[in-house]
């Protein structure tokens, strides 16, 4: 990694990945594996980073209830995760703590449980029957998770769900990317992308200085930044911030066995509690009312958590498209420019590092990417 002393001459790279979060790094890593010379252009230490506020779920159940293609790529990614984790361990020695022994989704009312069961049944039908899940009543839940409280109506169990340490995932990808010759440059905010006859010129701006990069291909993985960057290369990415709040506790001895959509215990022993969906614009401050409601929901699920001490809260911005599904698209007007935008950078991490990077390398893919075209938001 270079620590960006911006230099005025134009730098070159075969592929420039704009945005060094979990999404950008996974793709950059895959591209490096495919033999490309890649630079990741990243912002500063205090950039709005969805990656650092990530909840760490590798999650499948319930995802894509209105878009079967999304359910399919989420499950495909979950299946690829083990080999990605193994490969990162081999190359960097970092165990990113992947566990895929299933995940629970707690429902606090019978109504909620019934609705969820219906939704999962419909998804099962859409998948031609190949969509495993179980519905558990409180007693069954307590067999798996003895601390589940009496206010829990039941849960759905998705055997393909799991979780990972997102910070170690990020670190391991960074280290492997650097080992394999990739470059990460803290070049500041990308202010301009100019399509040329051959390739693109990317301009970044940091502390009053411009830095220019020339590249054959450019991949936009700048999260919320994609909204402004995409039109520069004839793409459309109408993403909006969506505030997710996460509470993090002191380290505890092992207490919880399974991740749930709202609460999980990490390998370090901390309890992570999420989340909220509220549209707030670019404010990452925590809001007490929202946090209190998250805490209140968590203690209904696990009354034992009443006495746990919270040491940190996070307000991190999810990257949301109007329909909540990702955008994967190559520009038709300026081939060689790609946009990737999603809010589940961890779950889809293995897909990004594998088939998505292959798509960008080879300009072809088996993935149903036409479903994720950004033009679906036009008109």
Partner 1 sequence: MNTTASLSIETQQNPNAAGAQSSYDLVIIGAGPAGMSAASTACQHGLRVALLDEQPNPGGQIYRAIGQTALQDEKVLGPDYYAGRQLLADLHQALDSNNAVTQGLLHYFSGSMVWSIEQDQSVCFSQQTFAATNSADSENSGSPVKQTSQTNPMATSNTSRRINANKILIATGAMERPVPFPGWTLPGVMTCGSAQILLKQSALAPKMPLVLAGSGPLLLLIAAQLHRAGVEISAVLDTTPKGRYRKALKYLPGALKNLPLLKKGLELLLELKQAGIHYEKHVTGLKALSCSDGQPSVKAFDPAKPDMQPIELLQQVEYSVNGKIHHRPCQTLLVHQGVVPNVQLSRALRLEHQWNTLQQCWAPEKNTWGRSSHADIFIAGDGGGIAGAKAAEYQGRIAALKIAQTLGYLTEDQLLKHAEPFRSLLDKQQAIRPFLDQLYQPADEFLTPADDTLVCRCEEVTAGEIRAIAAKGIAGPNQTKAFCRSGMGPCQGRMCGLTVSNLIAEVQGKTPEEVGYYQIRSPIKPLTLEELADLAQ
Partner 2 sequence: MDNVLTAKSAISSPSDVKEVATFKRLATRTETEQAGKTVTVYVDDQPVEMQPNDSAAAAVLTSGLRYGRTTTVGNSARAPYCMMGVCFECLLEIDGIENVQGCMTTVQEGMRIKRQHQARELSGR
Diameter of the chain measured on Cα atoms: 67
Burial class (CB in 10 A: 0-12, 13-18, 19+), 151: middle
Identify which of 176, 164, 165, 162 has the alpha carbon closest to the alpha carbon of residue 25. 176
Q: Which does 296 bind (CB under 5 to 8 A by kind): partner 1, partner 2, none?
A: partner 1
- Identify residues 230-269 at the interface with partner 2 (CB under 8 A): 250-253, 255, 269
Kindly report the three-state secondary structure assignment for every residue of 115-156: HHHHHHHHHHHHCCCCCCCEEEEHHHHHHHCCCCCCCCCEEE
What's the gap between Cα 207 and its chain centre? 29
Q: How far is the CB of 306 from partner 2 (least distance, A)?
A: 8
Q: How far is the CB of 250 from partner 2 (least distance, A)?
A: 6
Tell me if residue 346 falls in helix, strand or coil: coil
CB nearer partner 2, residue 145 or residue 161: 145
Among 146, 181, 322, 335, binds partner 2 (CB under 8 A): 146
Q: Which does 313 bind (CB under 5 to 8 A by kind): partner 1, partner 2, none?
A: partner 1
Q: Which does 269 bind (CB under 5 to 8 A by kind): partner 1, partner 2, none?
A: partner 2
Residues contacting 171, CB < 8 A, separation 6+: 94
Residue 340, beta-bridge partner list:
328
Among 45, 139, 288, 307, binds partner 2 (CB under 8 A): 307
Binding site for partner 1 (CB under 8 A): 1-3, 42-47, 52, 167, 170-171, 174-175, 178, 184, 186, 247, 249-250, 268, 273, 283, 285-289, 291-293, 295-296, 298-299, 305-314
Residues contacting 81, CB < 8 A, separation 6+: 58, 98, 100, 162, 164, 349, 350
- Binding string to partner 2 for residues 147 to 186, with x set by CB under 8 A, is what? x---------------------------------------
What is the binding site for partner 2 (CB under 8 A)? 146-147, 250-253, 255, 269, 302-305, 307-309
């Amino acid at each position: 990694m270079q620590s960006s002393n911006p230099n005025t001459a134009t730098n070159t790279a075969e592929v420039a990945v704009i945005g060094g979060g979990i999404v950008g790094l996974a793709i950059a890593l895959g591209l490096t594996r495919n033999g490309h010379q890649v630079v990741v252009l990243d912002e500063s230490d205090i950039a709005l980073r969805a990656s650092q506020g990530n909840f760490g779920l590798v999650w499948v159940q319930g995802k894509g209830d209105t878009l079967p293609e999304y359910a399919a790529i989420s499950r495909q990614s979950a299946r690829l995760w083990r080999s990605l984790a193994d490969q990162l361990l081999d190359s960097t020695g970092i165990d990113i703590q992947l566990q895929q022994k299933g995940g629970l989704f707690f429902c606090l009312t019978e109504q909620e449980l019934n609705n969820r069961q219906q939704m999962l049944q419909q998804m099962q039908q859409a998948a031609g029957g190949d969509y495993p899940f179980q519905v558990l009543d409180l007693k069954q839940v307590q067999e798996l998770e003895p601390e589940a409280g009496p206010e829990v109506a039941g849960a759905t169990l998705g055997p393909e769900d799991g979780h990972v340490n997102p910070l170690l995932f990020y670190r391991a990808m960074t280290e492997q990317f650097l080992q394999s010759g990739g470059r990460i440059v803290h070049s500041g905010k990308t202010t301009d992308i100019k399509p040329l006859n051959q390739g693109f010129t990317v301009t970044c701006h940091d502390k009053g200085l411009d830095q220019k990069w020339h590249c054959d291909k450019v991949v936009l993985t700048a999260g919320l930044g994609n909204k402004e960057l995409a039109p520069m290369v004839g793409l459309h990415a109408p993403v909006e911030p969506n505030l997710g709040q996460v509470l993090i506790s002191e380290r505890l001895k092992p207490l919880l066995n399974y991740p749930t959509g709202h609460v999980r215990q990490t390998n370090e022993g901390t309890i992570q509690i999420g989340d909220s969906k509220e549209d707030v614009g670019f404010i990452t401050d925590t809001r007490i009312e929202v946090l209190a409601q998250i805490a209140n929901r968590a203690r209904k699920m696990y009354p034992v958590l009443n006495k746990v001490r919270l040491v940190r809260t996070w307000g991190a911005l999810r990257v949301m498209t109007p329909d909540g599904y990702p955008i994967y698209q190559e520009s038709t007007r300026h081939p060689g420019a790609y946009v990737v935008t999603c809010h589940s950078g961890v779950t889809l991490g293995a897909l990004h590092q594998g088939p998505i990077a292959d798509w960008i390398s080879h300009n072809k893919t088996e993935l149903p990417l036409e479903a994720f075209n950004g033009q679906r938001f036009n008109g």
